[in-house]
């Protein structure tokens, strides 16, 4: 067995608990301000987080970073997300908002992975502190818990350790460094993320929402998470202005945040010259057109009118492909044609390096180009035709990894669907829940569009695992279950 740097792992988890404690102070203050009775829950959770953080950090305060490798990175990222969720579920349990561990952990994992699937029947009955914490879990998980830790704790980058953590948590087939040091890159990404969140909050506050709702929805929009403070979600406000604002920022948050950062620096050409971004916008346009035409064919479009039909189509396409999961209509009632489009968008997802879920557009593009090349090789078997994206050659190793990723992705969806169907869910519900959780979407199909509360406890634990695996890009979690990971 190889030498695992347990001391560094424990120390890093201690740092994470410290960061979680700082964020818990915000809902703690809100609970005191509104006086909804959830103050003790946050006070106790904060105390527990402080104690656990001190124990973990001060066990080995002088842990060495020089032996920090890939395997340590996988362990740190996976364990950090699990520990964050364990502590994060305590406010639900202690406040009585959720009365069992299964639902509390499901709701928290759904938050930190930005899935947005919920088991809470009456959202509006939750105290303000719990509602804020619910939104904050998505916001923290959107760009990445570890990425935030790297931004505020550059010491983790010593010995190249930050590179391993960044690669293990960041989505996509490769990662972009804005600055030479990972800690500098993390700071700029998080600064951009905070700026976008603040802008969304201001724009929503200028519309139909009060300050509290605007902040909560700004966090879940920027994180492409989808948690709302209302039982009916965005349908509560019936505001076209609000929908257009959220459409823009759902799509923006689905683009690689490195490109978004350069756009904020005035370099818009970098964003629109990117092939993945162009394909992403093309898919959104085609899917929106198909949904809009379909709505006119079934008669709904004639009732709504052109503007509302196009807006609803664009909103639902943007919400699903970005993995935000906000709803302004029940697409399951439109028919099978629309559900097929929704499933395809769930699978596709947004761009690599964004806060969105799914398989990512870049993988679909590489797979498509590689398939076209394979047809050519059938006639010219000796031809060497590389896959190119953005005028850069994609190595065979990356193509091979993409094929393995998509195979495991499909395999997990099939196995999860079989398991859920054995628990009594319909085929439509089983497949919808599986792909929704693996892709971190939120809404599913059939009776699970709005709530996952009726799923058996075992099914919820299975879907919780799917959420974590999907958010951490499959390999980061599943590699821990291989025998060769633990061998020297």
**pLDDT, tens only, 356-375:** 989 999 999 999 999 999 99
In a domain, 431, yes or no: yes
In a domain, 469, yes or no: yes
Closest by CA position to 189, among listed 249, 281, 112, 262: 262
In a domain, 262, yes or no: no
Q: How many CA atoms lie within 13 A of 443 on its CB side?
A: 30
pLDDT of res. 353: 85
Residue 392: beta bridge partners?
A: 389
Q: What is the DSSP string of 2-46?
A: ----HHHHHHHHHHHHHHHHHHHHHHHHHHHHHT-S-HHHHHHHH
In a domain, 7, yes or no: no
In a domain, 143, yes or no: no
Reduced to 3 states (helix: H, G, I; strand: E, B; else coil), residue 216 is: helix
- How much is the pTM? 0.92
The residue with greater pLDDT, 158 or 420, is 420
Backbone angles phi, psi at 388, to 5 degrees: -120, 135
Structure tokens at 231: 């039982």
In a domain, 111, yes or no: no
In a domain, 337, yes or no: no
Least confident span in 83-87, 123-127, 170-174: 170-174
**Is residue 43 a contact partner of residue 28, using CB atoms and an 8 Å limit?**
yes
Structure tokens at 168: 């293990």
Q: Where are the alpha helices (DSSP H) in 98-181?
A: 101-112, 128-143, 145-152, 161-169
**Is residue 275 a contact partner of residue 249, using CB atoms and an 8 Å limit?**
no
Band of the pLDDT at 180, cuts 50, 70, 90?
A: very low
Reduced to 3 states (helix: H, G, I; strand: E, B; else coil), residue 190 is: helix
Round to whole Å and give the CA distance between 67 and 106: 35
pLDDT of res. 125: 92
With a CB cutoff of 8 Å and minimum separation 6, the contacts of 175 are: 166, 167, 353
Number of domains in the chain: 1
Can you tell me the mean pLDDT for 269-273?
A: 90
In a domain, 297, yes or no: no
If you average pLDDT over every residue of the chain, what do you get? 88
Is residue 165 predicted with pLDDT exceeding 60? no
Backbone angles phi, psi at 350, to 5 degrees: -95, -150
Closest by CA position to 324, among listed 138, 162, 460: 138
Round to whole Å and give the CA distance between 282 and 279: 5
pLDDT of res. 487: 78
Q: Which domain holds residue 469?
A: 361-481
**Is residue 115 a contact partner of residue 227, using CB atoms and an 8 Å limit?**
no
Is residue 1 predicted with pLDDT exceeding 70? no
């Amino acid at each position: 067995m190889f030498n695992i740097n347990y001391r560094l792992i424990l120390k890093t988890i201690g740092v994470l608990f410290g960061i979680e404690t700082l964020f818990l102070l915000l809902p703690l203050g809100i609970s005191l301000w509104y006086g909804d009775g959830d103050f003790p829950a946050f006070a106790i959770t904060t105390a527990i987080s402080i104690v656990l953080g001190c124990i973990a950090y001060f066990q080995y305060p002088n842990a060495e970073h020089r032996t920090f490798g890939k395997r340590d990175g996988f362990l740190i990222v996976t364990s950090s997300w699990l520990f964050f969720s364990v502590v994060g579920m305590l406010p639900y349990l202690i406040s009585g908002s959720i009365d069992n561990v299964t639902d509390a952990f499901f709701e928290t994992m759904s938050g930190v992975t930005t899935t947005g699937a919920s088991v809470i029947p009456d959202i509006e009955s939750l105290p303000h502190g719990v509602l804020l914490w619910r939104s904050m879990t998505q916001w923290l998980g959107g760009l990445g818990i570890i990425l935030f830790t790297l931004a505020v704790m550059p010491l983790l980058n010593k010995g190249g350790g930050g590179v391993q953590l960044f690669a293990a948590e960041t989505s996509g087939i490769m990662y972009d460094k804005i600055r030479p040091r990972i800690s500098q890159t993390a700071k700029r990404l998080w600064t951009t993320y905070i700026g976008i969140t603040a802008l969304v909050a201001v724009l929503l506050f200028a519309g139909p929402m009060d300050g509290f709702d605007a902040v909560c929805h700004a966090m879940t929009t920027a994180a492409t998470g989808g948690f709302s403070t209302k039982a009916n979600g965005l349908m509560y406000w019936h505001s076209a202005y609000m929908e257009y604002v959220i459409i823009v920022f759902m799509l923006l948050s689905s683009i690689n945040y490195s490109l978004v950062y350069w756009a904020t620096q005035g370099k818009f050409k970098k964003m629109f010259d990117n092939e993945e971004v162009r394909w992403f916008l093309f898919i959104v346009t085609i899917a929106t057109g198909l949904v809009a035409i379909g709505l006119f064919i079934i008669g709904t479009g004639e009732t709504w009118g052109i503007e509302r039909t196009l807006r609803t189509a664009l909103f639902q396409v943007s919400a699903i492909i970005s993995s935000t999961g906000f709803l302004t209509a029940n697409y399951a009632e439109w028919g099978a044609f629309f559900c097929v489009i929704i499933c395809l968008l769930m699978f596709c997802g947004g761009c690599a390096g964004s806060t969105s879920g799914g398989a990512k557009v870049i993988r679909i593009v590489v797979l498509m180009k590689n398939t076209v090349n394979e047809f050519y090789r059938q006639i010219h078997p000796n031809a060497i035709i590389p896959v190119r994206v953005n005028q850069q050659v994609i190595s065979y190793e990356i193509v091979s990894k993409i094929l393995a990723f998509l195979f495991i992705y499909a395999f997990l969806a099939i196995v999860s669907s079989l398991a859920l169907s054995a628990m009594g869910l319909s085929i439509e519900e089983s497949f919808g829940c599986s792909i929704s959780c693996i892709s971190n979407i939120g809404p599913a199909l059939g009776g699970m569009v709005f709530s996952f509360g009726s799923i058996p406890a075992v099914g919820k634990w299975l879907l919780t695992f799917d959420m974590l695996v999907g958010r951490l890009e499959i390999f980061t979690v599943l590699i821990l279950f291989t025998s060769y990971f633990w061998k020297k």
